[in-house]
Amino acid sequence: MVKISNKKQVKAYVRNTFILINVFMIVAVSVVLTLFKFNFMLVALMAIFIELLVLLYISLTVKYFEYEYYGEVITIIYNRLIFKKNGKRLELPKSKVKYYRLENNYWGTQLNLYKRSPDKYNLIRFHYNVVPPLNEIDLNQLNKSLQEAEIIIL
């Protein structure tokens, strides 16, 4: 599931996605028409159908939420409080989370939290994705708060 971290970037993310889809569709339709000599109306209907499927996929996977700099709640995932803002640092509420892995790349920030399963032999993973990626300041804050909560990096 894709999360958008800033309302202003939601429109840009969706707009860029649709521009990319439309460019791909124009190239695909022109290649199909020139190589296979298909009926133009049939290819146009197929392109519209594929674009509607992509629109449905994006609307089902992209969830909008605000990144509250001044509010208390930083991230809400499935209506569960994960991080709270306490002064200028992020604070992880008391939990049984023992390990974490934080990866920042071009597509977004991936945060994996791990805790021990009830049988004590396995790890349970909670995967969170933030698109677009967090900036350096927020990433450092998140790293510090996770280390202050005595969560071990993997």
Please report, for the chain, the start and end positions of each structural domain, with discontinuous segments joined by +. Answer: 2-64, 93-153
The pLDDT of residue 10: 59
Handedness of CA 114, 104, 85, 151 (dihedral sign): positive
Q: Is 33 a residue whose pLDDT tops 70?
A: yes
Q: How confident is the model at residue 77 (pLDDT cuts 50, 70, 90)?
A: very low
Q: Look at residue 60 and tell me whether its pLDDT is greater than 50.
A: yes
Integer Cα distance of 77 and 103 in angstroms: 18
pTM over 0.85: no
Mean pLDDT of the chain: 66
Tokens representing 143 are: 């790293």
CA distance 57 to 42: 23
Residue 142 predicted with pLDDT over 70: yes
Given a cut of 60, is residue 94 above it in pLDDT?
A: no
- Residue 70: pLDDT band (50, 70, 90) is very low
State the maximum Cα–Cα separation within the chain, in Å, rounded to a whole number: 65
Instruction: Note whether 74 and 13 are within 8 A (CB).
Output: no
Residue pair 97/114 in contact (Cβ under 8 Å)? The answer is yes
* Confidence tier at 32 by pLDDT (50, 70, 90): confident
Mean of pLDDT values over 46-54 = 78
Measured CA to CA, the distance from residue 45 to residue 129 in angstroms comes to 34
pLDDT at position 66 over 50: no
pLDDT at residue 81 above 50? no
Strand order in the sheet with 109-116: 123-130, 109-116, 97-104, 152-153
pLDDT value at 46 more than 50: yes
- In our burial notation (b when 16+ CB lie closer than 10 A, e otherwise), range 63-83 reads eebebeeeeeebbebeeeebb
Decide which of 66 and 147 is more confident.
Answer: 147
Helix then strand then coil, in percent of the chain rounded to 5, is: 40, 30, 25
Query: What's the burial of 30, exposed, middle or buried (CB within 10 Å: 0-12/13-18/19+)?
Result: exposed
